[in-house]
Amino acid sequence: MRTLEQLVRPNIKSLKPYSSARDEYSGAEAIFLDANENPFNDPYNRYPDPYQRKLKAKIAELKNIASDSLFLGNGSDEPIDLSFRAFCEPGVDNIVSIDPTYGMYQVAADINNIAVRKVKLTSEFELDVDALLKATDSNTKLLFICSPNNPTGNSFKKKDIERILNEFNGITILDEAYIDFVPEKSFLPELSKYPNLIILQTFSKAWGMAGIRLGMAFASPKIVSVFNHIKYPYNINILTQQKAFDLLQNPEAKDEWVNILNNEKEILKENLSQFSFVEKIYPSDANYLLIKTEKPLAIYDFLVGQGIIIRNRSTVSLCEGCLRITIGSESENASLLDALKKYSS
């Protein structure tokens, strides 16, 4: 297995990071005349903690991990981009990704001028582990697995993910954005077994905080330290740090929402299966359903006309005819079903 030192880009390894005022002095009580801040308009006048210590301690406690294995980003999109900047030499290195999957891996790769080697899932939306490993070479730095996968909704088999973790000679990024809907399938309890694993989670889904932009990357303290060196100094603003800390006092709210949404998903599935135009509903571990229909665009357009917006995924690999429907509240889902009844009549 290549070590972190062998995988990090040479310029990043030798980088002298920006040292902010709050890096140089982080004590709480003092007269702060070091950061050219305005003394008025407390508390918004002060720069936030660059390492989000108070918030990280709370998350570490909830997740049962050490704080130094946690990086916080402006959404989990930030650590996706940082992974390219840390490990991939533009125009030289490549990444391997499953297909179909979350679109930002490709966009981040394109921004960073990194080739993406896409490996199709099987027709059952499972990992083709042999093909994934075969697609890698000595310039493959990252391998992206999203589980539960967006847009297919399924989680991958534990033994398949383990094989990749054991056999891929680079950094595996396991995107668990939807894992709170199936917490028992998370790899987080096994993080310390895999020094080249980065697990992404987010507060945007089950936690209901997409608007405050807060994502998590769990990894070895060494990888977290690389991210800390290259991130914007104050990447998480004080409003987000404070609001997330407050909302995390009540994790039971998240558990309750997960129960409601998982239950609503079953009800929606049952009701959708009654429509003759729904050919297939794929199994989902996430807060959305992927359905196959004969006329995805006609249904999509009809629903827009009814003021209901779903996602047309019919042009995505292996998803011909597919629509992705996010699970809403009981009344939102009822409105969707009413509109679909109108469509079918």
Positions that interact with ligand PMP (CB under 6 A): 75-77, 102, 146, 150, 175, 177, 202, 204, 210, 215
With residue 118 as reference, give the H or E element that holds it.
strand 115-120
Structure tokens at 219: 């990894």
**Nearer to ligand PMP by C-beta: 4 or 142?**
142
Instruction: Quote the radius of gyration of the chain (alpha carbons, Å).
Output: 22
Q: How far is the CB of 137 from ligand PMP (least distance, A)?
A: 26
- In whole angstroms, how far apart are CA 73 and each of 18, 50, 178, 282? 17, 11, 17, 31
Which residues lie closer than 8 Å to 128 by C-beta, 6 or more apart? 119, 120, 121, 122
The Cβ of residue 115 has, within 10 Å, a number of other Cβ atoms equal to 15
Taking the CA atoms of residue 174, residue 179, residue 180 and residue 186 in that order, the dihedral angle to the nearest 10 degrees is -70
Strand order in 115-120's β-sheet? 70-73, 215-218, 197-202, 171-175, 140-146, 94-99, 115-120
Q: How far is the CB of 152 from ligand PMP (least distance, A)?
A: 11
Structure tokens at 22: 């709050």
Q: How far is the CB of 28 from ligand PMP (least distance, A)?
A: 29
Q: How far is the CB of 223 from ligand PMP (least distance, A)?
A: 18
**Nearer to ligand PMP by C-beta: 175 or 285?**
175
**Nearer to ligand PMP by C-beta: 77 or 93?**
77
Q: How far is the CB of 40 from ligand PMP (least distance, A)?
A: 33
Find the residue with minimal CB distance to ligand PMP. Answer: 75
**Nearer to ligand PMP by C-beta: 206 or 336?**
206
**Nearer to ligand PMP by C-beta: 240 or 340?**
240
With residue 288 as reference, give the H or E element that holds it.
strand 288-293
**Nearer to ligand PMP by C-beta: 57 or 210?**
210
State how far the Cα of 8 lies from the Cα of 85, in Å rounded to an integer.
9
Q: How far is the CB of 204 from ligand PMP (least distance, A)?
A: 3
